[in-house]
Structure 1
Amino acid sequence: MDFKGQKLSEIFYQFTVVIFAIISFLLGYIFGSFRLMMLTYGAGVALAFVISVPDWPYFNQHPLTFLSVSSRPDDFFAPKTEKQSTPVKPAPAKKKSKRAA
């Protein structure tokens, strides 16, 4: 699933759950049945699960393109040998200015 497919899946999931929450509340209120309300909401969550969780081909319309492997020198992964380095001279110390008191 690509990034745009993930976003679309999330939108489908949220839309389905909210719509079924409203429908289940109204059915439960009209018929006075908590059981009917919970069964309707559970069916909505199950439907949202079936719509959004599997990696349907519809969610793969924008495939990711990765960079190709660049050619590397053969010794890229070889252990580094110690090179002759020149010693670094320390920076001169700053002189403190004397103030007349």
Structure 2
Amino acid sequence: MFARFNTIPTHMDYKGQKLAEQIFQGIILVSAVIGFIYGLVIEQFGWTVYIVLAGFAVSCVLTLPPWPMYRKNPLCWQPVLPESSGEPMQKHQEGGLKKKKHK
């Protein structure tokens, strides 16, 4: 049963994070403007709060889960380097590690 949970992707790439942030801010801004105008027209501040909270809930549903649209640009990691051929790191006189230079 727990193996099924391990197959669920839980990451976003950096461009996906930027897109999610832009969507989140846009929805919050639009809902705040709509809520303010509607609350001003009917003279009820409570409706302004309700509309902003509804916008917040919609933005959370759209941006918090790692939807596939946020995973379109994966990072290309460098391959793992093989172990060196027995050439250990040597201590430098100042206490740091220094690798032998080949001539």
Residue aligning to 1:44: 55
Tell me the CA shift for residue 69 of structure 1.
0.5
What amino acid is aligned across from residue 46 of structure 2 in structure 1? R
- 1:1-80 alignment to 2 at 5 Å? 1-73=12-84, 75=86
Would the alpha carbon gap of residues 11 and 72 (structure 1) be closer, same or farther in structure 2, given more than 3 Å must change?
A: same
Tell me the CA shift for residue 76 of structure 1.
5.8
Q: Percent identity between the aligned chains?
A: 31
Tell me the CA shift for residue 49 of structure 1.
1.0
TM-score (norm 1): 0.71
Q: Structure 2 regions of 5+ residues with no counterpart?
A: 1-11, 92-103
TM-score (norm 2): 0.70
Count of aligned residue pairs for this structure pair = 80
Higher-Rg structure is: 1
Rounded to whole Å, the distance in 2 between the matches of 1:76 and 1:12 is 51
Tell me the CA shift for residue 72 of structure 1.
1.6
Tell me the CA shift for residue 78 of structure 1.
8.8
Would the alpha carbon gap of residues 71 and 23 (structure 1) be closer, same or farther in structure 2, given more than 3 Å must change?
A: same
Rounded to whole Å, the distance in 1 between the matches of 2:31 and 2:67 is 22
Rounded to whole Å, the distance in 2 between the matches of 1:52 and 1:76 is 48
